[in-house]
Amino acid sequence: MIRCTFFMLSDPDEQLPREERQKAIDRADRRLSRRERESRLLVKRSEDYEVFDNVFDVPTLMIINDLRSDGVIQQVRGSLAAGKESKVYTATAPDGSLRILKIYLTVSAEFKKRMQYIAGDPRFSDIKRGSRSLIAAWARKEFKNMQAAYAAGVRVPAPIAVKKNVLVMEFVGDSEGNSAPPLVESEVTSSDYKQVIEQMTMLYQKARLVHADLSEYNIFKTDRGIMLFDFGSAVDIQHPNSKQFLVRDVMNVNRFFEKRGIEVLDTALAVEKIRGGNK
Ligand SMILES: Nc1ncnc2c1ncn2[C@@H]1O[C@H](COP(=O)(O)OP(=O)(O)OP(=O)(O)O)[C@@H](O)[C@H]1O
Ligand SMILES: [Mg+2]
């Protein structure tokens, strides 16, 4: 109404005969109500597709619902972290324990860059084009990597389920829902360094994987020792760049421990140790 009044006052046709003016007002009213109708429709549309907290779009909500019906989770509790390509939530399991939901988001530039990791991996040669299936492939890849590591006895959060872009795993942290601290937020010792190299060795020799995104941010320090996580980028040791990724992982780990005043192995030596007899 206010806008309509404004329209009337500012209208150069103000001097028109009364009848004409009334017609102009009616036209303006119609335009206004049409615009209101359209914007209401827009709101409705965006509600339908609303990305709650930028994560839960309708397809993701349906997956979460499926996970609930399957008894994998009971309820989503709260947001833990927002990473480069995913958001991490805690959820309760039907037995009351906590679980982690890692929800992969839309394709980011980073994600695209990392597609090279999938492209070179023989286990993922049948990926269809299109972002949704790519995101799902990425989540499945992290899940499979975790399964392989877990089965080989590497200390990683237990993988529980994967459905499209949602990965469910064991929660690592305290009973109040606080995650275990990553190395970067912990006091570290030479025993921690030794454990990291041991876990990397087991990952390489038993699970036949290279983490490929290892750093002080993707290693937990728990009461029961160190634990590797965030396996989205991990590659099979057959991957053409696996050696390069392994060297980078060792360099990241060494740089961190050295900075904290802990004696580290020479990079080439550590790489050799991790690879064992594998060429
Ligand atoms: N199993 C878990 N238990 C407890 N907390 C977890 C678990 N997995 C992930 N988190 C929390 O979520 C954060 C992000 O997880 P993760 O590194 O796997 O995601 P990301 O999207 O790859 O993040 P980034 O891109 O920043 O590396 C972790 O730093 C940790 O705080
Ligand atoms: Mg991470």
User: 153-177 pLDDT, tens per residue?
Assistant: 999 999 999 999 999 999 999 988 9
Which residues surround ligand 1 with Cβ inside 6 Å?
Answer: 80-81, 83-86, 88, 100, 102, 157, 169-173, 179, 182, 217-218, 229-230, 232
Q: For ligand 1, what atom is nearest to the CA of residue 173?
A: 4
Does residue 251 carry a pLDDT above 60?
Answer: yes
pLDDT digit string, tens, across residues 211-238: 999 999 999 999 999 999 999 999 999 9
Going by pLDDT thresholds of 50, 70 and 90, the confidence category of residue 16 is low
Does residue 146 carry a pLDDT above 60?
Answer: yes
- Provide, rounded to the nearest whole percent, the portion of the chain with pLDDT above 90: 61
Is pLDDT larger for residue 55 or for residue 143? 143
Does residue 78 carry a pLDDT above 90?
Answer: no
Q: Which of 221, 197, 191 is nearest to 211 (CA)?
A: 197
68: phi then psi, degrees, rounded to nearest 5: -70, -45
Q: What's the confidence (pLDDT) of residue 202? A: 98
- Chain centroid to Cα 245, Å, comes to 20
What is the distance in A from the centroid of ligand 2 to the CA of 167? 14
Average pLDDT, the chain: 84
Q: Which of 121, 230, 236, 249 is catalytic?
A: 230
Q: Which residue, judged by its Cα, is nearest atom 20 of ligand 1?
A: 83
Q: Which of 54, 73, 80 to mutate to test the pocket of ligand 1 (most atoms within 8 A of CB)?
A: 80
Q: In this structure, which amino acid lies at residue 246?
A: L
Does residue 49 carry a pLDDT above 60?
Answer: no
Q: What's the confidence (pLDDT) of residue 48? A: 41
Does residue 5 carry a pLDDT above 50?
Answer: no
pLDDT digit string, tens, across residues 171-203: 999 988 999 999 999 999 999 999 999 999 999
Q: H or E stretch including 226?
A: strand 225-228
Q: Which of 213, 242, 203, 218 is nearest to 121 (CA)?
A: 242
Q: What's the confidence (pLDDT) of residue 166? A: 96
Going by pLDDT thresholds of 50, 70 and 90, the confidence category of residue 31 is confident
Q: Which of 121, 192, 213, 249 is catalytic?
A: 213
What is the distance in A from the centroid of ligand 1 to the CA of 88? 6
Is pLDDT larger for residue 6 or for residue 38? 38
Residues 6+ apart with CB under 8 A from 244: none
**C-alpha distances in Å from residue 177, one per residue of 24, 98, 250, 252, 256:** 62, 7, 31, 28, 27
Q: From 1.10.1270.20, 2.40.40.20, 1.10.510.10, 2.60.120.260, which CATH number describes the 58-275 domain?
A: 1.10.510.10
Does residue 53 carry a pLDDT above 60?
Answer: no
Does residue 52 carry a pLDDT above 60?
Answer: no
Average pLDDT over residues 246-255: 98
What is the distance in A from the centroid of ligand 1 to the CA of 253? 18
Q: What's the confidence (pLDDT) of residue 8? A: 35
**C-alpha distances in Å from residue 267, one per residue of 172, 191, 248:** 30, 18, 9
Alpha carbon distance 32, 37 (integer Å):
9
Q: Which residue, judged by its Cα, is nearest atom 19 of ligand 1?
A: 83
Q: For ligand 1, what atom is nearest to the CA of residue 169?
A: 1
What is the edge-to-edge ordering of all strands in the sheet holding 159-163? 75-82, 86-92, 98-104, 166-170, 159-163
What is the distance in A from the centroid of ligand 1 to the CA of 81? 7
Domain boundary assignment for the chain:
2-48, 58-275
Q: Which residue, judged by its Cα, is nearest atom 9 of ligand 1?
A: 88
**Helix and strand counts by DSSP (H, E) for the chain:** 8, 9
Verify whether residue 230 is a known catalytic residue.
yes
Residues 6+ apart with CB under 8 A from 156: 146, 149, 150, 227, 228, 229, 231
Poorest-pLDDT segment among 8-17, 135-144, 169-178, 241-250: 8-17
pLDDT digit string, tens, across residues 103-127: 987 655 666 666 666 666 777 666 6
What is the distance in A from the centroid of ligand 2 to the CA of 236? 19
DSSP letters, 49-86, are T--BTTTB-HHHHHHHHHHHHTTS-SEEEEEEEE-SSE
Average pLDDT over residues 19-40: 71
Q: What's the confidence (pLDDT) of residue 39? A: 56
